[in-house]
Amino acid sequence: MSAPPLLDREPEPGITMTSAPVTNVTPAEIRADEKFRSQLEDRALLSGPNRRLRDLQLLWSVAKDFMIGFRGLHFVGPCITVFGSARFGEDHRYYKLARDMGAAIAKMGFTVLTGGGPGIMEAANRGAKDAGGRSVGCNIRLPFEQSHNPYLDRWVTMEHFFVRKTLLIKYSYGFIIMPGGFGTMDEMFEALTLIQTKKLKSFPIVIMGSDFWPEMRQFMDHMLKGATISSEDLDLIKWTDTVEEAVAHLQEKAVTQFGLRRGQVPKSNVLLGETALEGVH
């Protein structure tokens, strides 16, 4: 016999069933919440049930983000995505390392793709331009001012974080993880999870700046000892501090392993308003 619905069950002996306390919400609090949600589409999307028409509008907002991203990034060529913090200035050694890495990626023939903002993202895009390569950004609209960095040949600006993250992975054949915060962690583990679960081919993931990551490496070893990941999962990561080792790993895993044609991109159609990125053939 199947169990009765939860609400029809008798309470367990000795347990008193009480309802949750009801808190009165003032009109001012309601207005403040509505104002907060109205400022960004992501806020409204993530705030629970909306009116049916509003949810339909939000669904269109997500579809629009994807369409903008698809049209903007379809012809930029095979990319290597660089993830990292927006908070490092140009005098910081991690900025300089990311700039060197961006130049090396461009010299390999790849387009450098970043989140389009400042810090590590700017550094990688700047390095690509230093080397005469292609530089692309996928920016995000935030409640505080964030504009794209000045070293981009092309950029798109997204309303939704999860759409942006999908696009940064969709067009990439490898991932460089520089020191960063919550967003960088989110992007790194998203890529690792997609590869681990076979949603994505085993494209290379290179983590740079080893003095920033010792606790993370220890925690990954802890997860391995706890059997929540396997040794094969850790093999997905290349840890290095040198641009040369990173390039060699990208060459082996992103080019040789998959027979990647770095210059092969779809043909654009001017009748549809499509334009290829300069230098992509």
Find out whether 156 and 173 touch, Cβ atoms under 8 Å.
no
Residue 6 DSSP label: G
pTM, 2 dp: 0.84
Q: How far is CA 46 from CA 55, 62, 182, in A?
A: 11, 12, 18
CA distance 80 to 104: 11
> Is residue 126 in some structural domain?
yes
Reported as a single tens digit per residue, the pLDDT across 157-201 is 999 999 999 999 999 999 999 999 999 999 999 999 999 999 988
CA distance 174 to 190: 13
Q: Which domain holds residue 234?
A: 77-262
> Is residue 193 in some structural domain?
yes
Task: Tell me the β-bridge partners of 138.
Answer: 156
Residue 150 DSSP label: S
Domain tally, the chain: 1
Hey, what are 78's tokens?
Answer: 């095979």
pLDDT at 20: 61
Average pLDDT over residues 256-277: 68
CATH code for position 173: 3.40.50.450
Angle between helices 161-170 and 52-73 (to 10 degrees): 30
> Is residue 71 in some structural domain?
no
118 contacts: CB under 8 Å, gap ≥ 6: 86, 146, 149
pLDDT at 259: 67
Average pLDDT over residues 194-209: 92
- When pLDDT is cut at 50, 70 and 90, the band that residue 16 belongs to is low
> Is residue 72 in some structural domain?
no
> Is residue 253 in some structural domain?
yes
pLDDT at 157: 94
Range scoring the smallest mean pLDDT among 1-15, 135-149, 224-238: 1-15
Find out whether 234 and 220 touch, Cβ atoms under 8 Å.
yes
**Strand, coil or helix: what is 187?**
helix
Residue type, 116: G
CA distance 84 to 176: 9
Find out whether 169 and 194 touch, Cβ atoms under 8 Å.
yes
pLDDT at 266: 72
Q: Which residue has the higher pLDDT, 65 or 26?
A: 65
- When pLDDT is cut at 50, 70 and 90, the band that residue 18 belongs to is low
Reported as a single tens digit per residue, the pLDDT across 46-88 is 888 888 998 999 999 999 999 999 999 999 999 999 999 999 9
